[in-house]
């Protein structure tokens, strides 16, 4: 019989560390180190767990012990340098710089140095480090968050929204921070509807008891004239504190706006009137295509963002065949197949009226993909039903 390989001494600690159970991870690492005091993985994990708990002195001891065993350990040297730099020791910055320039440097080495450079107000150099991080590990949201904040400080909300949007794709479902930063970037860039949608995502992902965040979300939605979304934000706030007078007042205000058909901004009314000067259609279509083109298959929450963009286009150009096709595609991505068919058929009609070959091909592609999926679903249902009948027999 083949012998089952034993687990690494660091395995349990690593599992707890990855789960965010830092105190438990420390206990597991310390227990493992009693039998293998020079285990580098245990020492590295121990140092990182102490850092996560805000105990840099304890972390430094772990990294010193690791480097005594393996002086060329790049990640340990990077964490070691970061702690020293935070203490004001210039040796720390030099240590991180040297590690980051090593051709074997990994994600943590570049990320630590990037964070130090941000603190030193060297955004340009920091940006290069975070870009290296994203090339090494493209699915980690942290570099995109840092790059987005650099873009915001630079006064470039468009670049910031791109980075924050990327972060939302890879962040934990329970983490509202990337959505909050995305909402602020949209708001800074005067993209009210997108900002309102992102604020709602923040609240739905758990704003906990942060009254200031509910107020920011409500004001952002109202400022954009997105009163339906503002009402949803208020109702979420009142779920927490049903007797809060301020929330009750917000609800009265927004209900009044909705009933009167009022809008803080006139852009929505202009869209409905078909004023083509209200937005730059080509620019909005480019944004929609850019979002859909990133990291396929497009997740549902991104498809919803694209629908909001396309809705603005269709308000000024209701027969824009490409916008109709893309809306149909997004409806397909979020599981609304009947709506997908409706929009795709509208796109086909618009294409035939405009004699636009490209629009026609795009609309037909959406419809053919939808029909194929329906056939597959029907076949699967028939197969399942047949299997159930046989089982009964």
pLDDT at 127 over 90: yes
The per-residue pLDDT for 393 is 55
Whether the Cβ atoms of residue 32 and residue 48 lie closer than 8 Å to each other:
no
Residues 60 and 80: their CA atoms lie apart, in Å, by: 6
240 versus 78: which is more confidently predicted? 78
Q: What are phi and psi of 37, to 5 degrees?
A: -60, -20
Whose tokens are 């397909």? That residue is 332
- Mean pLDDT for 87-110 is 95
**Mean pLDDT, the chain, as a whole number?**
86
Query: Which domains does the chain possess?
Result: 294-383 (1.25.40.10)
The lowest-confidence range among 134-143, 203-212, 239-248 is 203-212
The per-residue pLDDT for 61 is 96
Q: What is the pLDDT of residues 150-178, one digit of tens each?
A: 999 999 999 999 999 999 988 887 888 99
Tally of residues, the chain? 393
- Which DSSP letter does residue 174 get? T
Nearest to residue 264, comparing CAs of 204, 315, 193? 193
- Mean pLDDT for 338-352 is 92
The per-residue pLDDT for 384 is 67
The lowest-confidence range among 41-50, 146-155, 173-182 is 173-182
305 versus 131: which is more confidently predicted? 131
Q: Look at residue 216 and give its three-state secondary structure.
A: helix
Report helix, strand and coil shares of the chain as percent, to nearest 5: 75, 0, 25
- Mean pLDDT for 288-313 is 80
SS (H, E, C) 282-335: HHHHHHHHHHHHCCCCCCHHHHHHHHHHHHHHHHHCCCCHHHHHHHHHHHHHCC
The per-residue pLDDT for 239 is 85
C-alpha dist (Å) from residue 62 to 26, 47, 59, 80, 301: 11, 5, 5, 9, 42
The per-residue pLDDT for 272 is 42
The per-residue pLDDT for 270 is 41
Residues 66 and 41: their CA atoms lie apart, in Å, by: 9
Residues 183 and 192: their CA atoms lie apart, in Å, by: 9
Residues 280 and 223: their CA atoms lie apart, in Å, by: 21
The lowest-confidence range among 157-166, 239-248, 283-292 is 283-292
Model confidence, pTM: 0.65
pLDDT at 182 over 80: yes
- Percentage of the chain modeled with pLDDT above 70: 89
């Amino acid at each position: 019989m083949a012998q089952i390989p034993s687990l690494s001494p660091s395995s349990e600690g690593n599992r707890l560390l990855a789960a965010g159970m830092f105190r438990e991870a420390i206990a597991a690492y310390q227990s493992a180190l009693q039998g293998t005091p020079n285990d580098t993985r245990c020492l590295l994990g121990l140092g990182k767990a102490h850092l996560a708990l805000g105990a840099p002195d304890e972390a430094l001891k772990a990294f010193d012990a690791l480097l005594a065993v393996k002086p060329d350990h790049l990640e340990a040297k990077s964490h070691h340098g970061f702690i020293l730099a935070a203490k004001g020791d210039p040796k720390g910055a030099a240590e991180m710089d040297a590690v980051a320039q090593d051709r074997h440097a990994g994600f943590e080495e570049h990320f630590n140095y990037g964070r130090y450079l941000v603190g030193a107000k060297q955004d340009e150099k920091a940006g290069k480090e975070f870009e290296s991080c994203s090339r090494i590990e493209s699915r980690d949201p942290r570099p995109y968050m840092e790059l987005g904040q650099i873009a915001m400080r630079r006064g470039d909300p468009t670049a910031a929204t791109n980075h924050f949007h990327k972060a939302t794709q890879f962040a934990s479902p329970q983490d509202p921070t990337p959505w909050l930063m995305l909402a602020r970037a949209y708001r800074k860039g005067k993209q009210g509807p997108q900002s309102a949608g992102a604020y709602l995502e923040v609240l739905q992902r758990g704003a906990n008891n942060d009254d200031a965040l509910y107020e920011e979300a409500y004001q952002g939605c109202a400022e954009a004239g997105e009163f339906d979304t503002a009402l949803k934000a208020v109702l979420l706030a009142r779920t927490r504190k049903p007797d809060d007078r301020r929330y009750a007042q917000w609800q009265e205000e927004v209900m009044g706006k909705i009933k009167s058909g009022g809008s803080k901004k006139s852009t929505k009314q202009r869209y409905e009137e078909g004023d083509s000067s209200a937005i730059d259609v080509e620019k909005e279509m480019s944004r929609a295509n850019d979002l859909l083109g990133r990291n396929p298959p497009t997740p549902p929450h991104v498809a919803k963002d694209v629908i909001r963009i396309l809705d603005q286009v269709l308000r000024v150009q209701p027969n824009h065949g490409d916008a109709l096709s893309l809306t149909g595609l997004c409806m397909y991505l979020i599981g609304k197949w009947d709506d997908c068919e409706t929009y795709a058929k509208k796109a086909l009609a618009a294409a035939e009226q405009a004699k636009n070959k490209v629009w026609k091909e795009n609309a037909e592609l959406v419809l053919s993909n939808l029909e194929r999926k329906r056939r597959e679903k029907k076949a699967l249902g028939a197969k399942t039903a047949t299997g159930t009948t046989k089982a009964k027999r």
